[in-house]
Structure 1
Amino acid sequence: MSLRADTPPTTRVRRFTRAERWVHRTTAVLMGVCVVTAACLYVPQLAELVGRRELVVRVHEWAGLALPVPVLAGLVSRAFRADLRFLNRFGPHDRLWLRAALRRDKRRAARPAGKFNAGQKVYTAWVAGATLVMLGTGLIMWFTHLTPLMWRTSATFVHDWLALTIGIVLAGHIGMALGDPEARRGMRTGAVSREWAEREHPLWRP
C-alpha cells in the first residue's frame, strides 16, 4: 500500500459561507476598479496610455458609489452578520495580539486569536471608515454645485491623500494574503484545514 493511501485525509472545517465569499469578492472587485481608475486619473503615464478620461471618471464614480452595496446586501446572511459581530468586538486576547505584533513577536503563543485576529479587525474597521470618508468626499466632488468652494477643496485634498493611503494598505493586505495560502484557500472554497485553524486561530471554535 502506498504512503498516500496510508495517510489520513486532512480534516477541513467551514470558515466562510458562499454569501460571505461573494461579499468579499465583489467588494474586492469594486475596490480594485476604484484603485485602478484612480491611478489612471492621477498618474500621467497611465492617463496617456488609457486615454478617454471622461469614461474613466464615470467608471471610478459608479464603482465608488457601488462599493457599500455588497456589504449591505450581505446583511441578509446570518453568517455574515455573525462575522461582523466578531470583527466589531475586541477582547483581552486581541490586545495581547497587537502588543506582540508591535514587538514583532512571531511566536504563535504570543498571538492568540479567535475566528479573526486583531490585525484583521483593525484592518476591517479602517477600511470601513475609509470607504465612508471616500464616499462622502467623492459625492462632494461629484456634485460640485451643492457645496461651497472651501468644502470642495477640502474634500479633494482628503480624497486624494486617503486614496494613496488606501492603496498602500491594500498592498499590505494582498501581501499578507499571498503569504498565507491556506487563508486564501479558505476565502476561495470556504473551508480550511483544522491544523491551520488550531495554529492560527486557537480561540476559534468552528
Structure 2
Amino acid sequence: MSLRADPRPAAAEVRRFGPAQRWIHRTTAALMGVCVATAACLYVPQLAELVGRRALVVTLHVWAGLALPVPALAGLASRAFRADLGRLNRFGPHDRTWLRAALHRDKRHASRPAGKFNAGQKIYTAWVAGAALVMLGTGLMMWLTHLTPLFWRTSATFVHDWLALTLGIVLAGHIGMALADPEARRGMRTGRVSTEWANREHPLWRP
C-alpha cells in the first residue's frame, strides 16, 4: 500500500468526531477520573485523612468502576462509533511504519503515516480497554467476597492494585500528550480539526 496520500480539498476544517464519539469519550473520562481519584483517596494515607468518609469513597469507587463500560456499550448504537472501533481494531503496514518512526524518534511526518488513528492511539486504546476489563473482574472478586475463595481475593487484590498504578501512569501520559496537542483536543471538544493538521498528522485519513 502506498504511504502517500492525495492532498485533501482546500477546506479550512474537517469533521473528526460526531456527538456520539465526543460524549462517550467525555463520560468515560469522567468515570475514569472518579475511579482514579477515589483510588488515590483509598491508598494514599494523607489523602485518606484529608477526605475521610471512607465508606462513601469506596461506594463511589465501586459504582464508577461498574459504570465504566456503560458509555462504550451504549455507544454501539451509533454507526459512527462502531466505525471508529473498527478503525482502532485494524493494524496495517502503515501502523508498523509509524511505530518504527516513533521508536526512532523520527520527526519527519512523511515517515509517520496514519489513518484516522495512529498506531500509538490504537495500542493505547486496546491496552486501556483490556486493563479496564481486568480491573472490573478483579474488583468484583474483591467486592463480592462471599462468592470467591480467599486465595482468589488475595490474588485479585494484588493484580488490581498494581494494574491501577500502571493505568494511572498510562493515563497521565495520555493527558500529557493531549495537553501538548491543542488541535487534537479541539477535535474532541468541538468535533472539527483544521485540514492542515489532518494532512500532517493523519495523511491516510479520508473523512
Instruction: Please give the secondary structure, in 2, of the residue aligned with 1:204.
Output: coil
- In structure 2, distance between residues paired with 1:88 and 1:97: 16
2:134 maps to amino acid: V
Residue 112 of structure 2 corresponds to residue 114 of structure 1? no
- In structure 1, distance between residues paired with 2:107 and 2:66: 39
- What's the counterpart of residue 19 of structure 1? 20
- What's the counterpart of residue 174 of structure 2? 173
- What's the counterpart of residue 4 of structure 2? none
Instruction: Please give the secondary structure, in 1, of the residue aligned with 2:163.
Output: helix
Identical amino acids, percent of aligned pairs:
84
Instruction: Please give the secondary structure, in 2, of the residue aligned with 1:192.
Output: strand
- What's the counterpart of residue 4 of structure 1? none
How does the TM-score come out when normalised to structure 1? 0.95
Structure 1 gap segments, 5+ residues each: 1-8
- What's the counterpart of residue 41 of structure 1? 42
- What's the counterpart of residue 5 of structure 2? none
Aligned length: 198
Q: Deviations over 1:145-175 (max 9, x none)?
A: 1001110000000000000000000000000
- What's the counterpart of residue 124 of structure 1? 125
Q: Deviations over 1:13-41 (max 9, x none)?
A: 11000011000000000000000000000
- In structure 2, distance between residues paired with 1:151 and 1:99: 40
What's the CA shift for 1:42? Answer: 0.2
What's the CA shift for 1:109? Answer: 1.2
**Comparing 170-179 with 102-111, which one deviates more in the overlay?**
102-111
What's the CA shift for 1:101? Answer: 1.1
Instruction: Please give the secondary structure, in 2, of the residue aligned with 1:49.
Output: helix
- What's the counterpart of residue 142 of structure 1? 143
- In structure 1, distance between residues paired with 2:152 and 2:184: 42
RMSD over equivalenced CA pairs, Å? 1.0
- What's the counterpart of residue 78 of structure 2? 77
- What's the counterpart of residue 90 of structure 2? 89
What's the CA shift for 1:10? Answer: 6.4
- In structure 2, distance between residues paired with 1:106 and 1:198: 15
- In structure 1, distance between residues paired with 2:37 and 2:107: 34
Instruction: Please give the secondary structure, in 1, of the residue aligned with 2:162.
Output: helix
**Comparing 152-161 with 102-111, which one deviates more in the overlay?**
102-111
Structure 2 gap segments, 5+ residues each: 1-9
- What's the counterpart of residue 6 of structure 1? none
1:178 maps to amino acid: L
1:61 maps to amino acid: V
- In structure 1, distance between residues paired with 2:121 and 2:26: 16
Q: Which runs of 4+ in 1 moved over 6 A?
A: none
Residue 51 of structure 2 corresponds to residue 57 of structure 1? no
What's the CA shift for 1:110? Answer: 1.4
Instruction: Please give the secondary structure, in 1, of the residue aligned with 2:14.
Output: strand
- In structure 2, distance between residues paired with 1:115 and 1:10: 17
1:157 maps to amino acid: F
Alignment of structure 1 residues 127-206 onto 2, 5 Å:
127-206=128-207
- In structure 1, distance between residues paired with 2:163 and 2:111: 32
Instruction: Please give the secondary structure, in 2, of the residue aligned with 1:165.
Output: helix
